[in-house]
Structure 1
């Protein structure tokens, strides 16, 4: 996702790739979830169960990555408009956390949700995606059998949402650049982790579109 994604031909190719990937990934994720439900009463054995869980986690993660790529391009081009409205926050958090349920179960994590009955003025669809990306990031960095927390509240009449885990803290350098567009490509050539960090850049764009800030 460099300069090629910002010129017209690059964006056209990007749109085609996203479209071609999103539909089969959505179908695959749905089929895996259905298969898991159908096999709930069948003894697959530890290896079979683990393979099914891992497949569902990876497919869901890939789908989130593809959607984030599409939305980042749209946000940068101004083709997605933020539509704030009074939105109950707790249901949005529940949707976001539920999307990561499979990964939580595989890693045996303790998830703590502390979200009071709030109805801020936000674009619920986009903010749900932000929470989903942050939660996914926290789950993947959490130690096995660790803890992940999602909290929300009002501070000085401003909505504050925090997502964290019991894993080791980031370095000072990472804190400064983790929400940048090319963070992973520039600092940690680790292909398996590019999608997650690109998702964090998406979070930054959405938060800034709401006139807010995002920090570690």
Structure 2
């Protein structure tokens, strides 16, 4: 009698699920791009806004599916280290997450913008991008509406640093008055902003570890939170 095949591990199952989710997601993105190309300028307004929302949610789904894959496969995702311009990667990440920031009514800015080519690091490009994306996404989850998130890059003896600062949301226990009723548009923006809550900081930490870097999060109770991602410096 032949032995029955062994059960796959949880990590293997999650990796397969992430792969399977990417297929319909890619088809959805293609269909949305087609719809965008067929919408006439006169059909703007609510239709254009709904289409923009759908595209933003697809971007968020891409990150969530990518996080499942990151949690499942970890080291297997690394394609090798290369020399990277940290300032350029930071600008790209801020641009990718700009729609989500707008939906949450949060100003996301790279300030001061580091000059291109000034901060060079050496690590896996894909994993560094995921670490930055997740760190900004975590800031968007934590920052209160109508506030600002400041992102910048710097360097020190440890390597290149991505620094994110944002105001903290007031503690629920300190809120004694019932919140005012929200309009339908405000409810929609709030719902969109909440998508993706939970794993962003974990995945930023995993990606930081995989590139040989470090993630530092302030734990004090002050009004401003500070997140620092350290990437290995480029070798001379």
- Cα distance between partner residues in 1 of 2:132 and 2:101: 15
Corresponding residue of 1:72: 71
Cα deviation, 1:116-149, whole Å, max 9, x if unaligned, reads 2311112222111111111122223333332122
1:141 aligns with 2:142: yes
- Cα distance between partner residues in 2 of 1:29 and 1:207: 29
Q: Give the Å deviation of 1:45.
A: 3.1
Higher relative CO (Cα under 8 Å, sequence separation at least 6) belongs to 2
Aligned residues of 1:84 and 1:124 also touching (Cα < 8 A): yes
Question: When the two structures are superposed, what TM-score results if normalisation uses the length of structure 2?
Answer: 0.66
Corresponding residue of 2:86: 89
Question: When the two structures are superposed, what TM-score results if normalisation uses the length of structure 1?
Answer: 0.71
Cα deviation, 1:70-111, whole Å, max 9, x if unaligned, reads 122111xx3233622211112211222222132233334322
- Cα distance between partner residues in 1 of 2:108 and 2:34: 24
Listed as ranges, the gaps of 5+ residues in structure 1 are 1-6, 172-191
- Number of aligned residue pairs: 187
1:59 aligns with 2:33: no
Corresponding residue of 1:177: none
- Cα distance between partner residues in 2 of 1:30 and 1:164: 35
Larger helix share, 1 or 2: 1
Q: Give 3-state SS (helix, strand or coil) of 2:212's partner.
A: coil
Q: Give the Å deviation of 1:193.
A: 6.3
Q: Give 3-state SS (helix, strand or coil) of 1:163's partner.
A: strand
- Cα distance between partner residues in 1 of 2:165 and 2:38: 33
- Cα distance between partner residues in 2 of 1:9 and 1:125: 25
Listed as ranges, the gaps of 5+ residues in structure 2 are 1-6, 173-192, 218-236
Q: Give the Å deviation of 1:206.
A: 1.8
Aligned residues of 1:148 and 1:165 also touching (Cα < 8 A): yes
